[in-house]
């Protein structure tokens, strides 16, 4: 049985004056799939990600999540539809604990608006157990390694019921051992049916973690192919060479 299509975006175009940053781009993502999005600087990757997160409204185009149309151009609406993004630079509050970062701005409350810290901790513990992510909930984020901070951001996205994760250069500043740790987490997410769009300039990573690849060039989809280890994808990646 084929996997559920989580995300389908078609005809995505973004025009700034005379310049088309993105032109009739399309991308599809299935449950449990890692689709790498690659291309040289200026190819349109950032514009596509900004459209999918709602930060930028496309000039034209359609976005569907699990078969339902989602009006673009609203970050909260994209979050509510199940799309979250893990950026190259941390989007956490360093001085706050892991627990407070996980539920920042949406902590559970009890009577008279008081925070329900017990319920918050119980929810966090269950989330981390279900996801097999090991974090000290009381540790300040500033004391965590970079890869652990990435795990906090992933857990935060899953706490929002994200089905689709966009990972923008997630291994920047990570050591090789930390990259492998992150890949273990990505494989866990695949097993849970989460779909991942993965952006990286490091070809070895793409060969290792990708199921499928979409290649952008000059704002257009130059190629899209199956299994990241297939000759079709390898050839396509080698064509752009200088990512």
pLDDT, residue 130, reads: 87
Beta strands at 60-65 and 5-16: parallel, antiparallel or unpaired:
antiparallel
Q: Which residues contact 60 (CB under 8 A, 6 or more apart)?
A: 11, 12, 13
Report the alpha-carbon distance of residue 77 to residue 70 in Å, rounded: 8
pLDDT, residue 240, reads: 52
Give all domains of the chain, ordered by start, each with its CATH number. 5-82+163-240 (3.40.50.300)
pLDDT, residue 111, reads: 64
pLDDT, residue 201, reads: 84
Measured CA distances, 32 to 79, 84, 180, 194 (Å): 19, 15, 18, 5
pLDDT, residue 211, reads: 92
pLDDT tens, the chain, 243 aa long: 468 999 999 999 999 999 999 999 999 999 999 999 998 889 999 999 999 999 999 999 999 999 999 999 999 999 999 999 998 888 899 999 999 999 886 766 676 667 778 888 999 999 999 888 999 999 999 999 999 999 999 999 998 889 999 999 998 888 899 999 999 999 999 999 999 999 988 888 888 899 999 999 999 998 887 654 555 555 555 655 544
Query: Are 20 and 11 spatial neighbours (Cβ–Cβ below 8 Å)?
Result: no
Report the alpha-carbon distance of residue 208 to residue 6 in Å, rounded: 22
Provide the 3-class DSSP secondary structure of residue 141: helix
Q: What is the DSSP letter of 56?
A: S
Is the torsion defined by CA of 54, 142, 182, 2 positive or negative? negative
pTM here is 0.87
């Amino acid at each position: 049985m084929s996997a559920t299509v989580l995300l389908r975006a078609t005809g995505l175009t973004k025009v700034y004056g005379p310049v088309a940053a993105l032109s009739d781009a399309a991308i599809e993502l299935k449950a449990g799939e890692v689709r790498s999005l690659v291309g040289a600087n200026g190819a349109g990757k950032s514009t596509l990600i900004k459209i999918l997160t709602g930060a930028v409204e496309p000039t034209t185009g359609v976005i569907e999540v699990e078969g339902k149309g989602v009006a673009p151009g609203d970050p909260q609406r994209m979050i509510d539809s199940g799309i979250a993004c893990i950026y190259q630079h941390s989007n956490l509050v360093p001085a706050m604990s892991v627990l407070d970062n996980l539920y920042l701005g949406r902590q559970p409350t009890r009577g008279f608006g008081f925070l329900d810290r017990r319920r918050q901790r119980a929810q966090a513990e269950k989330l981390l157990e279900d996801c097999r992510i090991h974090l000290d909930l009381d540790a300040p984020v500033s004391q965590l390694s970079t890869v652990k901070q990435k795990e906090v951001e992933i857990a935060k996205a899953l706490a929002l019921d994200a089905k689709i994760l966009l990972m923008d250069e997630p291994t920047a500043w990570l050591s090789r051992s930390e990259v492998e740790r992150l890949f273990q987490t990505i494989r866990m997410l695949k097993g849970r049916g989460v779909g991942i769009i993965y952006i990286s300039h490091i070809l070895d990573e793409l060969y290792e973690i990708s199921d499928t690849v979409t290649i952008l060039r000059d704002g257009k989809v130059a190629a899209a192919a199956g299994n990241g280890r297939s000759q079709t994808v390898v050839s396509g990646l080698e064509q752009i060479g200088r990512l």
